[in-house]
Amino acid sequence: MGNRAVLSRSFSSDPAADQFFLAADDSVLTGDGADSTRVVFKIVDKYGADRAFATGEVRFEMDGPAVIVGDNPFKLDDSGGVGAIWIRTVSNGRGKVRFSASHSVLGGKSVELEVRPAGSARRQVDQSEFHD
């Protein structure tokens, strides 16, 4: 704005410090067989910027009351160095889910989720919220 910078981003041309990034949108799910969360994975440079032309294969493993929904393994070559899969709970599931992803060159990361019994984390909806 005017002569003042309002945004600055850094990018690295050196792939030596690239890292494999993994994150889930949610950390707590309901074990009803339908609740799910997206898990994003990508290659980032030393500043955390997406490495758009990254390649390689990502393999997934999981322990706990959930299933992986998506390609396993996932090839990054055709997706701009980023990808996502879904983790869906199983019916009557409860407990911890440990989800691990491993890139063919940069190694692995993992996330842990908690699956709560159906009905334990539900919010009661007051119908008056929907009326004038």
pLDDT of residue 69: 98
**Around Cβ 18, how many Cβ atoms within 10 Å?**
18
User: Which homologous superfamily is 18-119 in?
Assistant: Immunoglobulins (2.60.40.10)
With H, G, I as helix, E, B as strand and everything else as coil, classify residue 112: strand
pLDDT, one tens digit for every residue, the chain (132 residues): 678 988 888 888 888 899 999 999 999 999 999 999 999 999 999 999 999 899 999 999 999 999 999 999 999 998 999 999 999 999 999 999 999 999 999 999 999 999 999 886 544 444 444 444
Extended beta strands in 1-132, E state: 19-24, 28-31, 36-44, 57-63, 66-69, 74-75, 82-89, 95-103, 107-117
Q: What is the pTM of this model?
A: 0.82
Residue spans per domain, the chain: 18-119
